[in-house]
Amino acid sequence: MALVQIVEPDRQPDPSQPRLAVGIDLGTTNSLVATVRDGQPTPLADAAGRFALASAVRYQKCGGVSVGRDAKQCASCDPFNCILSVKRLIGRGVDDVRQLGQQMPYRFRTGDSKMPMIETVQGAKSPVEVSAEILKVLRERGEQALGGELFGAVITVPAYFDDAQRQATKDAAKLAGIRVLRLLNEPTAAAVAYGLDRQAEGVIVVYDLGGGTFDVSILRLTRGVFEVLSTGGDSALGGDDLDHAVADWIVEQSGCGTDLSPAQQRTLLRVACDLKEALSGQTVVEAHYGDWSGELTRAAFDALIEPLVARSLRACRRAVRDAGIEKEDISAVVMVGGSTRVPLVREHVAAQFECQPLTDIDPDKVVALGAAIQADILAGNRSGNTDLLLLDVNPLSLGLETMGELVEKIIPRNTTIPVSRTQDFTTARDGQTAMALHVVQGERELVRYCRSLARFELRGIPPMVAGAAKIRVTFQVDADGLLSVSAKETRSGVETHVEVKPSYGLSDEAVSRMLEESLAHAEDDRKARGLREQQVNAERLLETVRVALDADGDLLNSQERAAVDEQLALLREAAAGNDQAAIARQVQKVNQATHEFASRRMDATVRRAFAGRQLDEI
Ligand code: ADP
Ligand code: MG
């Protein structure tokens, strides 16, 4: 994630006519829209004066769609038609969704693509469509407040969102009639809201505890450039878990039993949530549930939630370790998400990082406010040296499969985007006229442990000997984190191109698991890579000798031929095993055994060339 100064040529601000631009925080629990007014980022409220729009969509039998609080409140009476936390589904595949299991109590159906569809009373809806309903409401709110059609919006996404999730978010915006000026990582937006981009340098921790998810991001700022050092978190930890802890306490205290209907369960959770939120401002609250009433002190509440807060701190320590920094390097900790209002959370975070976290800006608005600032800049409403454009980094390495199922990394993880990288490849076989390119994402050395993003073919390569063709492959990641790949054979100019739009995404656990595995398996991978390389070497040699024997086998007598064949058979055998050193030794032996044959071939070739010239001369 980086902030880099770029001048955008086509953005000529007309000071008399600011373009209407908004920042949108499309959250799992709540969404927000904000804009810059008179130079100040400001959140926009609905008619009732509420800023947060519950990220809930209800498809009604009558054909209407309601979004927000009303939809959320119907979740217990109409569970299949009230979609909550759709952000957990966007850009994900059917398999990812199955893993979410209980958290997503909807009826899924697989559509034409691998996108899961949610069965509702109004038919099957994709997560993109559901998200678009939320965005539509925010767009209308923005247009009403600003008095005109929007020029565009900056929409925030979690830093770990992959290509598919980002693309799906953009699609949702398009469906909602919003022009996306840029997708922006949530932690970067929070840092911008605090003006940290104007700070000289330092390491910034963004601690984001929302309704259902916890994210921690570690950013480094150097000379106006932010980069993500690491991300971490827990996609099943948030304010909802604090609610459950309080609800369990109520059940225990009141003895009301655990056999609750879904409606009773919802009421209980609402009571619990209200108590929790009240305790952020008071040290004791009156609790009422059914006939029972009691008192919950902050100290008792703290004891209930302590293990949950501790879990978030463990993820923080892991992220610090992953970032390769020391605690002393950290210059600021930014608090994001409604749940960071809980005093115990603030205390523990302060103790963990040994510094006072930044909490001045409302933690549930800070992301939208940062996005609004960015939108204002991108819409061209600011002139002069404040024209900072944000750049991000790609969260996982992108590469190509090469011979032996190995991954050649083209763009390493945490490279600042947009970025374009080029690498040359060549053909492995004589006369090869097509080349299959397999684009993968991940940190491991072997293809099978990485995620496959796309496959495509470069055809029409003129036949040449192995190694003569020069295939230039370019990976390009745009500012929104979307990848396109092109391949060109530079002698003939044959070219091909793909936009990589995977049909489903990776979960954040999958990302951190892949990173962890790559660290855990670094040694294994290095060995496996060495073995593969040696095997590829052996296969190449076998192929070369085979071609040569086919062409010029008559240069050897039957005894000599048998000796060569024997060594070849031994090499074939060694290559099938997994003793790297044995393969290397046998490669040597084959080279020795074919040495004489190779020099005779050379002579023969020279003679033929000579003979040819004589013929020409005649
Ligand atoms: P998300 O980013 O997941 O959409 P938010 O940042 O809006 O979520 O946070 C929502 C969570 O914040 C909810 O669990 C809500 O109960 C909690 N929350 C909001 N206000 C308070 C408060 N005063 N004290 C404690 N928790 C709060
Ligand atoms: Mg949030």
Q: Where are the domains of the chain?
A: 21-238+304-392, 239-303, 394-519, 523-610
Q: Which residues pair with 156 in a beta bridge?
A: 25, 184
Residue 30 burial (10 A CB sphere; 0-12, 13-18, 19+): buried
Predicted confidence (pLDDT) at residue 447 exceeds the cutoff of 80: yes
Predicted confidence (pLDDT) at residue 554 exceeds the cutoff of 50: yes
Element containing residue 246 per DSSP (H, E):
helix 239-254
Assigned fold of 394-519: Substrate Binding Domain Of DNAk; Chain A, domain 1 (2.60.34)
Comparing 94 with 157, the larger pLDDT belongs to 157
Comparing 592 with 510, the larger pLDDT belongs to 592
Hey, which of 50, 88, 155, 277 would you mutate to test ligand 1's pocket, going by the most ligand atoms within 8 Å of its Cβ? Answer: 277
Comparing 504 with 437, the larger pLDDT belongs to 437
Q: Which residues contact 37 (CB under 8 A, 6 or more apart)?
A: none
Is domain 523-610 annotated with CATH 2.40.50.140?
Answer: no
Nearest to 219 by CA among 208, 211, 227, 231: 227
Give how far the C-alpha of residue 353 lies from the chain's centroid of Cα atoms, to the nearest Å.
26
Predicted confidence (pLDDT) at residue 4 exceeds the cutoff of 50: no
The span from the CA of 318 to the CA of 308, in Å, is 16
Ion ligand 2 — residues with CB < 5 Å: 27, 210
Q: Which residues contact 137 (CB under 8 A, 6 or more apart)?
A: 53, 67, 68
Return the pLDDT at 24.
Answer: 98
Residue 163 and residue 505 in contact, taking contact as beta carbons nearer than 8 Å: yes
* Average pLDDT, integer, range 423-432: 84
The number of the ligand nearest the C-alpha atom of 282 reads 1
Predicted confidence (pLDDT) at residue 486 exceeds the cutoff of 90: no
Q: Which residues contact 451 (CB under 8 A, 6 or more apart)?
A: 396, 440, 441, 442, 506, 510, 514
Residue with tokens 């100064």: 5
* Average pLDDT, integer, range 201-227: 86
* Average pLDDT, integer, range 417-423: 81
Residue 454 and residue 502 in contact, taking contact as beta carbons nearer than 8 Å: yes
By three-state DSSP, how is residue 364 classified? coil
Tens of pLDDT, residue by residue over 34-48, are: 999 988 999 999 999
* Average pLDDT, integer, range 383-391: 47
Q: Which two tokens stand for residue 252?
A: 């225990």
Q: Which two tokens stand for residue 240?
A: 């909802």
Residue 532 and residue 458 in contact, taking contact as beta carbons nearer than 8 Å: no
Element containing residue 66 per DSSP (H, E):
strand 65-67
The span from the CA of 48 to the CA of 365, in Å, is 17
Predicted confidence (pLDDT) at residue 353 exceeds the cutoff of 90: yes
The angle at the Cα of 495, spanning 437 to 492, to the nearest 5 degrees, equals: 115
Residue with tokens 């053909």: 427
By three-state DSSP, how is residue 491 classified? coil
pLDDT band, very low/low/confident/very high, at 600 (cuts 50, 70, 90): confident
Residue 426 and residue 239 in contact, taking contact as beta carbons nearer than 8 Å: no
Kindly give the pairing relationship between strand 152-157 and strand 21-25: parallel
Cα of 337 to ligand 2 centre, how many Å?
A: 5
Say which CATH architecture domain 21-238+304-392 belongs to: 2-Layer Sandwich (3.30)
Cα of 42 to ligand 2 centre, how many Å?
A: 17
Predicted confidence (pLDDT) at residue 579 exceeds the cutoff of 90: no
Residue 296 and residue 275 in contact, taking contact as beta carbons nearer than 8 Å: yes
Residue 494 and residue 461 in contact, taking contact as beta carbons nearer than 8 Å: yes
Comparing 320 with 413, the larger pLDDT belongs to 320
The number of the ligand nearest the C-alpha atom of 52 reads 1
Catalytic choice (46, 72, 87, 129) = 87
Q: Is the dihedral of CA 246, 248, 254, 259 positive or negative?
A: positive
Hey, which of 25, 87, 274, 339 would you mutate to test ligand 1's pocket, going by the most ligand atoms within 8 Å of its Cβ? Answer: 339
* Average pLDDT, integer, range 312-331: 92
Nearest to 28 by CA among 339, 390, 305, 313: 339
Tens of pLDDT, residue by residue over 164-190, are: 788 889 889 989 999 998 888 899 899
Comparing 370 with 536, the larger pLDDT belongs to 370
pLDDT band, very low/low/confident/very high, at 605 (cuts 50, 70, 90): low
The angle at the Cα of 79, spanning 264 to 169, to the nearest 5 degrees, equals: 130
Which of 19-33, 110-124, 229-243 has the weakest average pLDDT? 110-124
By three-state DSSP, how is residue 209 classified? strand
By three-state DSSP, how is residue 64 classified? coil
Hey, which of 29, 87, 302 would you mutate to test ligand 1's pocket, going by the most ligand atoms within 8 Å of its Cβ? Answer: 29
The span from the CA of 589 to the CA of 570, in Å, is 9
By three-state DSSP, how is residue 462 classified? coil
What's the mean per-residue pLDDT of the chain? Answer: 84
Reported as half-sphere exposure (CB side, CA atoms, 13 A), residue 409 has a value of 15
Q: Which residues pair with 233 in a beta bridge?
A: 215
Return the pLDDT at 510.
Answer: 56
Kindly report the CATH class assigned to 239-303. Answer: alpha beta
Return the pLDDT at 513.
Answer: 64
Catalytic choice (46, 133, 171, 186) = 186
The span from the CA of 305 to the CA of 290, in Å, is 24
Predicted confidence (pLDDT) at residue 388 exceeds the cutoff of 70: no
Residue 401 and residue 10 in contact, taking contact as beta carbons nearer than 8 Å: no
Return the pLDDT at 323.
Answer: 84
Return the pLDDT at 128.
Answer: 92
The pLDDT > 90 percentage for the chain reads 40
Ranges assigned E (strand) in 349-387: none
Comparing 618 with 349, the larger pLDDT belongs to 349
Residue with tokens 């011979």: 403
Cα of 369 to ligand 1 centre, how many Å?
A: 17
Angstrom CA distances, 366 to 131, 179, 185, 387, 604, stand at 21, 22, 13, 20, 77
Return the pLDDT at 378.
Answer: 82
Most confident of 263-272, 472-481, 601-610: 263-272
* Average pLDDT, integer, range 353-363: 96
Per the document, the length of the chain is 618
Return the pLDDT at 200.
Answer: 65
The span from the CA of 557 to the CA of 565, in Å, is 12
Which of 136-145, 458-467, 582-591, 594-603 has the weakest average pLDDT? 594-603
- Which residues have C-beta atoms less than 6 Å from ligand 1? 27-30, 52, 210-213, 239-240, 273, 276-277, 280, 337-339, 341-342, 364
Residue minimizing CA distance to atom 13 of ligand 1: 211
Predicted confidence (pLDDT) at residue 316 exceeds the cutoff of 70: yes
Most confident of 100-104, 311-315, 513-517: 311-315
pLDDT band, very low/low/confident/very high, at 16 (cuts 50, 70, 90): low
Q: Which two tokens stand for residue 69?
A: 């609080």
Most confident of 96-105, 284-293, 499-508: 284-293
Catalytic choice (96, 208, 364, 489) = 208
* Average pLDDT, integer, range 450-454: 81
Ranges assigned E (strand) in 355-415: 388-393, 398-402, 406-411
Most confident of 325-339, 478-492, 537-551: 325-339
Go through 488-507 and write b for each residue having 16 or more CB atoms within 10 A of its CB, e for each that does not: bbeeeebebebebebebbbb
Give how far the C-alpha of residue 188 lies from the chain's centroid of Cα atoms, to the nearest Å.
15
Kindly give the pairing relationship between strand 398-402 and strand 434-441: antiparallel
By three-state DSSP, how is residue 585 classified? helix
pLDDT band, very low/low/confident/very high, at 9 (cuts 50, 70, 90): very low
pLDDT band, very low/low/confident/very high, at 393 (cuts 50, 70, 90): low
Give how far the C-alpha of residue 163 lies from the chain's centroid of Cα atoms, to the nearest Å.
6
Return the pLDDT at 369.
Answer: 97
Predicted confidence (pLDDT) at residue 140 exceeds the cutoff of 80: yes
The pLDDT > 70 percentage for the chain reads 85
- How many C-beta atoms lie closer than 10 Å to residue 420's C-beta? 12
- How many C-beta atoms lie closer than 10 Å to residue 258's C-beta? 8
The span from the CA of 9 to the CA of 419, in Å, is 19
